[in-house]
Amino acid sequence: MKRSKQNVDEFMERLDHPFKAEIEAIREILLGVSPCVTEQIKWNAPSFRYRDTIATFNLHAQDYVHLVFHNPFIAGIRNTILEGHYPDRRMVYFSDMGEVYAKKPALERVVMELIAQMDRLG
Exposure of 105 by Cβ count < 10 A (0-12 exposed, 13-18 middle, 19+ buried)? Answer: exposed
Confidence at 45, pLDDT banded by 50, 70, 90: very high
Q: Of 30, 122, 1, whose CA–CA distance to 73 is shortest?
A: 122
Overall residue count recorded for the chain in this entry: 122
Number of domains in the chain: 1
- CATH number, domain with residue 84: 3.90.1150.200
pLDDT at site 6: 62
Q: Could you tell me which residues are beta bridge partners of residue 66?
A: 58, 93
| Residue 102 pLDDT > 50 | yes
Q: Of 3, 1, 30, whose CA–CA distance to 94 is shortest?
A: 30
Q: Residue 3 in 3-state DSSP?
A: coil
pLDDT at site 121: 78
Q: Residue 105 in 3-state DSSP?
A: helix
Confidence at 2, pLDDT banded by 50, 70, 90: very low
Alpha helices in 40-96 (DSSP H): none
User: pLDDT tens digits for 104-116?
Assistant: 999 999 999 999 9
Using the 8-state DSSP alphabet, how is residue 83 labeled?
Answer: B
Q: What percent of the chain has pLDDT over 90?
A: 77
CA–CA gap between residue 102 and residue 56 (Å, rounded): 20
What does the pLDDT average to over 6-18?
90
Range of the domain at 74: 5-121
pLDDT at site 70: 92
